[in-house]
């Protein structure tokens, strides 16, 4: 069993079209709401004893800032920043995952839509008990700041294929609101 955690970056400031002159999309920071959501997610995951073997993160500022509150929780976990995860296409991300060493049993990727939404839909066939609502939501959207966890019924990343996964968690920022 391999477990994939897709963490879409939290809410970022306005897009490049509305941003101050000179700010590129890659450099957009999290909005106040996004910083709050990332912190709430970190606190929730710390309370649930969340662990992964590896983390890969887009180099976009908003992705790095989403990961930052999780750093203490992930202490000791290798974290790699990859330019190739910025605005990557679904098939390219799937190939990236298929190339992971089989010594990694669980991986978190921090990045972007629409890729995460497309990949989660392609991999997920069903949901564990208690996540039916999460699967229903996933079929329509993958909100910013959401953590989507998929247990893939494979023993090797190289054979990751459509519909091999079961949704085990679809945690949105609004699920963590007080």
**Pairwise CA distance, residues 177 & 173, whole Å:** 7
pLDDT of residue 76: 94
**Pairwise CA distance, residues 134 & 105, whole Å:** 23
pLDDT of residue 54: 98
The pTM of the full predicted model, rounded to 2 decimals, is 0.94
For the chain, the domains span: 2-176
Dump pLDDT digits (tens) for 163-176. 999 999 999 999 99
Helix (H, G, I), strand (E, B) or coil at 125: strand
Low-confidence ranges of the chain (pLDDT < 70): 15-23, 178
**Pairwise CA distance, residues 160 & 105, whole Å:** 13
The hierarchical CATH code for the domain 2-176 is 3.40.50.1240
Read off the DSSP letter of residue 30. B
Q: Which helix (H) or strand (E) covers residue 65, if one does?
A: helix 61-67
Report the chain's C-alpha Rg in angstroms: 15
**Pairwise CA distance, residues 91 & 42, whole Å:** 29
**Pairwise CA distance, residues 158 & 2, whole Å:** 11
For 42, 45, 115, the CA distances from 53, given in Å and listed in that order, are 17, 15, 22
**Pairwise CA distance, residues 31 & 49, whole Å:** 27
């Amino acid at each position: 069993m391999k477990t994939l955690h897709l963490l879409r970056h939290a809410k970022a400031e306005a897009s490049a079209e509305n941003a101050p002159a000179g700010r590129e999309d890659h450099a957009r920071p999290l909005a106040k709401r996004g910083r709050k959501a990332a912190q709430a997610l970190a606190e929730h995951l710390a309370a649930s004893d969340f662990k992964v073997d590896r983390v890969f993160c887009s180099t976009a500022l908003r992705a790095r800032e989403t990961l930052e509150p999780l750093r203490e929780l992930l202490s000791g976990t290798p974290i790699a920043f990859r330019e190739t995860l910025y605005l990557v296409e679904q098939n390219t991300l799937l190939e990236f995952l298929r190339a992971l060493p089989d010594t990694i049993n669980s991986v978190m990727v921090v990045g972007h839509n629409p890729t995460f939404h497309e990949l989660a839909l392609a991999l997920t066939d069903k949901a564990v008990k208690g996540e039916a609502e999460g699967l229903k939501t996933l079929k329509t959207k993958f909100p910013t700041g959401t953590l989507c966890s998929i247990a893939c019924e494979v023993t090797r990343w190289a054979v990751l294929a459509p519909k091999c996964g079961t949704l085990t968690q679809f945690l949105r920022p609004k699920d963590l609101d007080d």
